[in-house]
Structure 1
Amino acid sequence: MPPIDIHVHLLPRICSPIDFSGQVAVVIDILRATTTIATALANGAKAVHAVQEVSEALMVAEQFIEGEYLLGGERHGEKIDGFHLDNSPLAYTPEVVNGKEIIFTTTNGTRAMAHCRMAKEIHLGSFNNLSALVNRLQEEAPKEVHLLCAGTDSLITHEDVLFAGAICEKLGAPSDQVEPGNDTAKLALDTWKTHSQSPELFYKSLCNSRGGANLVKLGFDADIRRAAELDLYEIVPNYDPKSGKITA
């Protein structure tokens, strides 16, 4: 495998879309967008259509007949009025989403996807599909990989940084073949190594993160537990910025 430089970006607002131009990007929103999207696709959804605004979601819904689609997402952690589903991965069961088009908008995750629009490939990562994602990156063997953390309300979130560090380690950094391309990647790798020494410590770190604390307040503790599960799925969601469509 040729050498890979891994670049970690802690927030969309502190990097430019041009940073991703022609590169392979991974969008990270552990709590909960990328976890939920992976769940929906693994459970049989035809596609997830990522949009930025509620009004866009309603316009996309007009392309389908009643029963073909579901509106899903959240604003500040809570279900949007008139939507079928919120942003809980536990809501996207096979019985609910199989064969459906999911039209999806969230506070942070879908905006992070659009920020990577100049990348040649845009993958979505979660702990639920960590190994599948790492395998895909190893197969693609790009010269650079750019990991974008979505954050929470324009602030850095520990859970996204943890996942970025997990990718760095799984790809083999630091080594002759895989090198942190910026100090933020080194920071993420150190964070992951410190907080993944036991399943209990890892789960506690997710709960104590900015995103985790918000979910605990809203009563979504079970979503954090699900987001912490490693390698539930063997799929890699891919985002097409031209259409906004995410497929496995």
Structure 2
Amino acid sequence: MSQDRIYTGAIPFVADPRQAEEPPSQAAPLFLLADSQLLFWADEDGPFIDRIAACTGPGAPRAAYLGASNGDNPDFYSIFLAAVQPLGPAECRMIPAEPAESELAYLESADIILLAGGDVERGWHAFQASGVRDLIERRYHAGAVLIGISAGAVQLGNVGWAEADPDAAFPTWGLARFVVDAHAEDEGWAALRAVVRARGPGARGIGIPLGGGVILHPDHTLQAVRRAAYEVSFVGDALVDALILPPEGAER
């Protein structure tokens, strides 16, 4: 497919008009990652995980991991523990798909919340059933740092879909006001393109390749990290493709 537009670094996203009706937000950046690689990646500016922690303010952050999308697999939680260990978190907990009241209370106080990869639909149904869906939205507007990995990144966008069935789309958090897909570059982002087309003119999608990520800043600018991100927009009656490039020299 041809790339009609190429952007370098942060680019603006137009705010959704519904935001004028929402309560004031102290939101931190959203970190949307294709996989866990960036949690262990460093460049000339230092470890990427330090940039995430810097968004929480002074002091050791309290961290929470939500593994509902992967069936609360402890092996994936151990990866998160290894990633945040250099931060010396004040506390770190895994919040299961069916959390107890004490676990929900901890989540209400977490400074960093990671939404794990796995099955988008499975995780989303669990978040709805447990009350985590509304709790995460509250924490975001209160300034907690949200990290979505793979399925978690999709859920932070405005629509998810059943695995291998982009026609079975359903609304998700929409904290990132575009469709998100991850590590599907080998398929030419076919599912992402299908979902964007189905949503009609004005729809936009972001594809995050393996090893890469994007940061959505509170001012609605979007920054690619390490790998060029793919953008598809429905303009007029056609899909328009673009690349969002990371800062020069950051791709390695």
Same fold (TM over 0.5): no
Higher helix fraction (1 or 2): 1
So what's the TM-score if we normalise by structure 1?
A: 0.30
> Greater strand share, 1 or 2?
2
